[in-house]
Structures are given as structure tokens and as C-alpha cells.
Chain A
Amino acid sequence: DAGITQSPRHKVTETGTPVTLRCHQTENHRYMYWYRQDPGHGLRLIHYSYGVKDTDKGEVSDGYSVSRSKTEDFLLTLESATSSQTSVYFCAISEDSVNYGYTFGSGTRLTVV
């Protein structure tokens, strides 16, 4: 009964191929976020969404695109995967204000070979 799920959980892909990661929520939260986590860098914001079809760039958006056609789904696409995009990707959701806290998904471990 998790309110947020990410798929796939693990993926290995080849350099140069497109990859799409999916984040699905059942909480009807307005805000959705994609972060990547790498050793020594903490969590870095890639893109975020503040409503259907409303998205914006984060700190490390180069090489990534997102789409949100429904409240419940936020897709992250690596247009042409590179080895530097090997990482753990976390999706998060939140209500109107940050004081309620983000709820994170379990993450997608992506390896680009």
C-alpha cells in the first residue's frame, strides 16, 4: 500500500540508449521530484513538477527530460544514456508545503555500461 512506487527497481542499459524511469503516486500530491544520489554528492535535484504539464529544471538537468501528463505519474527520460548517469534515482512527492516533508520512493538503481 505504498503511496509512491518507482519502476524498474534495477536496470542495466548500454551507452547511447534512451531510458525511461517511472514514478507513480496514489496520494494525489501536487509536487513530484526526481533526484539522483551518488557517493559524496548526497541527493541532487534533476527535475521537478508542480502540477500536470508543469515542470522545471533542477541542479543537474542536462541529459534528462521529464513529463507529467497525469497527476499520478512523473517520468524521467535519459535521452542517450552515458556512464556518468550511472546512479541511484529517487522520486519524491510532497503536498503544498515542504514542512509536511517529502515522501521518497524506494529508488531505481541504474547502471549504464
Chain B
Amino acid sequence: GQSLEQPSEVTAVEGAIVQINCTYQTSGFYGLSWYQQHDGGAPTFLSYNALDGLEETGRFSSFLSRSDSYGYLLLQELQMKDSASYFCAVADNQGGKLIFGQGTELSVKP
């Protein structure tokens, strides 16, 4: 089976940097993804890491360490609109279906 752990809540101030961690246990591993969800709306894809290292997309970066079964999402220059829930998800190596963590609610304060 698969399980993922991420903090339930994180609070940060506007303009700061925040890191959301994710640890996982899987029987097979194909990659770690991150999704953002505002106010219960449709989750949107942020990033995907299949290999170790850092992937950068604008203000967002995602990191993976396969040997540690660990990854994180780094958000820089936080803006109020970044207040949302963030989910990590792992793909097994059969069919590519994603299993999601329980989500981290990020609150950005002025």
C-alpha cells in the first residue's frame, strides 16, 4: 500500500518563504507530484519530480529525495493568493494513478 504524511497547517507572512514537507511510503514509486486547491475548488497541478533534485517553476520549487522517501514544495515571495491547500501525491508504477496526502492548508498573513 501507500501512505503520505504532510503537515495539516502552515502559516507564513506575505513575502516570506515557506516549505511544505511530504514523506511517503509506497510499494512502488514512479514520482511525486504537488497540487494546489483554493477553497474546495478543482485541484490544479503544480509540479512533478521523478528524479532526485530540485525542479523550479517560477516562485514554486519542488524537491525529491528518493533514498529518503521525502520531498518538499518551496514557495517563495509569498502572496496572499497563495493561501490554499497543497497536496503531495505519489504515482505507483502501475497505470500511473495518484494517491494523495491529506493536504496542508497554507495561510498567508499580511
Contacts and interface: CB of A to CB of B under 8 A. Distances in A.
Interface of A: 31, 33, 35, 37, 40-45, 48, 50, 56, 58-59, 88, 90, 94, 96-99, 101-107
B53 interface: no
- Interface bin, chain B: 20 to 34
A40 B102 contact: yes
Interface of B: 30-31, 33, 35, 40-45, 48, 50, 87, 89, 91, 95-103
A58 B48 contact: no
Nearest to B99: A45
B102 A101 contact: no
B87 A43 contact: yes
Given A33-B97, A98-B91, A102-B98, A43 B43 contact: yes
Contacts of A33: 97-98
Nearest to B4: A42
B48 A99 contact: yes
Given A41-B102, A98-B31, A104 B43 contact: yes
Contacts of A97: 96
Nearest to B41: A106
B101 A101 contact: no
Contact of A44 (B30, B31, B100): B100
A90 B98 contact: no
B42 A90 contact: yes
A88 to B, nearest CB: 7
A45 B98 contact: yes
A45 B87 contact: no
Given A42-B103, A43-B87, A98 B40 contact: no
B100 A98 contact: no
B48 A101 contact: yes
